[in-house]
């Protein structure tokens, strides 16, 4: 994956101040309790490996397609990406769209032990 621009990193940093980030362990607990696990990476990245039970909806398609995937805006959603930035931006977008129970995995997929 290409390095992120300064502007992108600034947007992600700002988003992280507005959302709740959780540890990988807390994220797994939430999904075991019924939260939707949303992988917001591109489909090519998802195909190379993802968390078990995850639904792939890239950040670029999120605003247009989320209602078809998660119609109830109170449904718990756990967003993640590779390193935590796109996941944070996705969680922020979902909150702006009226979703009320959204978190992002701090550190993204890279924060998980290799056995996941």
Q: Quick: pLDDT tens for 19-51.
A: 999 999 999 999 999 999 999 999 999 999 999
Whether the pLDDT of residue 116 is over 60: the answer is: no
Catalytic residue among 27, 40, 66, 79: 79
For 83-101, write each residue's pLDDT tens digit. 999 999 999 999 999 999 9
The pLDDT of residue 98 is 98
Whether the pLDDT of residue 2 is over 70: the answer is: no
Question: Is 81 tagged catalytic?
Answer: no
Set out the domains of the chain in order of their start, with CATH numbers. Answer: 13-111 (3.40.250.10)
Rounded Cα distance, 10 and 114, in Å: 29
Specify the pTM. Answer: 0.92
Cβ atoms 55, 103 nearer than 8 A: no
Whether the pLDDT of residue 110 is over 50: the answer is: yes
For 67-82, write each residue's pLDDT tens digit. 999 999 999 999 999 9
The pLDDT of residue 113 is 77
Cβ atoms 79, 105 nearer than 8 A: yes
The pLDDT of residue 115 is 57
User: In 1-116, which ranges are E strands?
Assistant: 20-22, 36-39, 55-56, 77-80, 102-105
């Amino acid at each position: 994956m290409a390095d992120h621009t300064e502007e992108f990193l600034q947007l992600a940093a700002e988003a992280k101040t507005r959302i709740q980030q959780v540890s990988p362990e807390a994220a797994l607990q939430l999904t075991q309790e019924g939260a939707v696990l949303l992988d917001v990476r591109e489909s090519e990245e998802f195909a190379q490996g993802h968390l078990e039970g995850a639904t792939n909806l890239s950040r670029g398609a999120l605003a247009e397609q989320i209602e078809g995937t998660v119609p109830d805006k109170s449904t718990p959603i756990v967003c993640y990406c590779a390193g935590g930035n796109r996941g944070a931006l996705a969680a922020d977008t979902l909150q702006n769209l009226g979703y009320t129970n959204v978190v992002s995995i701090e550190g993204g997929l890279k924060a998980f032990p290799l056995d996941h």
